[in-house]
Amino acid sequence: MLTIDAEAYRSPWRTVHPAVKGVLFGGLLVCALVLPAWPGAALAGAVALAFGLGPARVPPRRLLRTAAAPLAFIATGAVTLLVTVGGPEAPVAWDPQGAGRAAEIVGRASAALVCQLLFAFTTPLAEVLPRLTRIGLPPALVEVVALIYRMLFVALDTARRIGSAQAGRLGYANRRNQVRSLGALGAALFVRSYDRAARLQRGLECRGYTGALTVLVDQAPLRAAPVAAAAVPAVLVAAVTLSRGVWT
């Protein structure tokens, strides 16, 4: 199981209805994307972190480890805004306005990333997917996503076992062996995944599959009061940001 899924199942907010967490972190995500980057995105990210590291008790180290790769991607993309290419002065020159645009993009993207990761760290995907059909998503699309999600863990486990067997046979002792072993691992993983998918389809057909996968979902009560309370942080962030623009 992936780290983010394991933490979602251990989260004290797992019993909270996904709609409540969606309104909380989704509202802050909208604030990070729509409001001015300063202070809107910064406030949205800070409030999301306060909820995630506080009541939700998301482990900071695991959150940082999960966000490291996306943050590196954000930083790499922001660096390109610092220069201009093909200008009249030089082929590559410093852009005076690039630092401001880069800071805005980093702020918005980082705040949006935090909101999405905290929702994922507190809500197992298996509890979200069956509820998506209730908001109008096509059942076939939801089932495809659910099957891919479940098969992903099978593929990761298969790749781990094949890699361990190859390492036991010195398949990664040098670069040449590494290239050969990685190629063999990819080929074996494709064949086994295709075979598992075919057997899964045959199994569903033998069980009278009619186009809908019925799964049990914990029926967490959804009340209007928690949903309204979850929308308050986003409203406050928007009010503070907009009022600051009025007074300045």
The answer to whether residues 175 and 193 belong to one domain is yes
Within a domain: residue 100? yes
56: exposed, middle or buried (C-beta count within 10 Å: 0-12, 13-18, 19+)?
buried
Q: How confident is the model over 159-177, as pLDDT tens digits?
A: 888 888 888 888 888 888 8
Within a domain: residue 17? yes
The answer to whether residues 45 and 100 belong to one domain is yes
Within a domain: residue 214? no
pLDDT at 88: 67
Q: How confident is the model over 106-117, as pLDDT tens digits?
A: 889 999 999 999
H or E segment and range at residue 83: strand 83-85
Task: Compute the distance between CA of residue 102 and CA of residue 156 in angstroms, rounded to an integer.
Answer: 36
The answer to whether residues 111 and 31 belong to one domain is yes
Q: What's the mean per-residue pLDDT of the chain?
A: 82
pLDDT at 28: 92
The answer to whether residues 152 and 194 belong to one domain is yes
Total domains in the chain come to 2
The answer to whether residues 111 and 12 belong to one domain is yes
Is 60 exceeded by the pLDDT of residue 200? yes
Both structure tokens of 21? 């967490």
The answer to whether residues 139 and 117 belong to one domain is no
Q: How confident is the model over 204-233, as pLDDT tens digits?
A: 778 776 666 666 666 666 788 888 888 898
Asked which of 53-67, 187-201, 205-219, 224-238 is least confident by mean pLDDT, the reply is: 205-219
pLDDT at 84: 75
Within a domain: residue 72? yes
Residue 28: name the closest of 7, 5, 12, 51 by CA.
51
- pTM for this model (two decimals): 0.76
Amino acid in the structure at residue 94: W
Q: For residues 89 and 175, which has the higher predicted lDDT (pLDDT)?
A: 175
The answer to whether residues 20 and 100 belong to one domain is yes
pLDDT at 215: 61
Within a domain: residue 215? no
The answer to whether residues 113 and 234 belong to one domain is yes
pLDDT at 83: 75
Q: For residues 32 and 220, which has the higher predicted lDDT (pLDDT)?
A: 32
Say if residues 26 and 122 touch (Cβ distance below 8 Å).
no
Within a domain: residue 240? yes
Q: For residues 44 and 142, which has the higher predicted lDDT (pLDDT)?
A: 44
The answer to whether residues 65 and 92 belong to one domain is yes
The answer to whether residues 116 and 232 belong to one domain is yes
Asked which of 64-68, 95-99, 109-113 is least confident by mean pLDDT, the reply is: 95-99
Within a domain: residue 212? no
202: exposed, middle or buried (C-beta count within 10 Å: 0-12, 13-18, 19+)?
exposed
Is 60 exceeded by the pLDDT of residue 247? no
Is 60 exceeded by the pLDDT of residue 248? no
Q: Provide the residue range defining the domain that includes 25.
A: 3-123+220-247
The answer to whether residues 101 and 30 belong to one domain is yes
Q: Give the rounded percent of residues in the chain with a pLDDT score beyond 70.
A: 89
Q: For residues 124 and 95, which has the higher predicted lDDT (pLDDT)?
A: 124
Is 80 exceeded by the pLDDT of residue 241? yes
Residue 15: name the closest of 134, 161, 127 by CA.
127
pLDDT at 246: 41
pLDDT at 240: 87
Within a domain: residue 94? yes
Is 70 exceeded by the pLDDT of residue 49? yes
The answer to whether residues 115 and 233 belong to one domain is yes
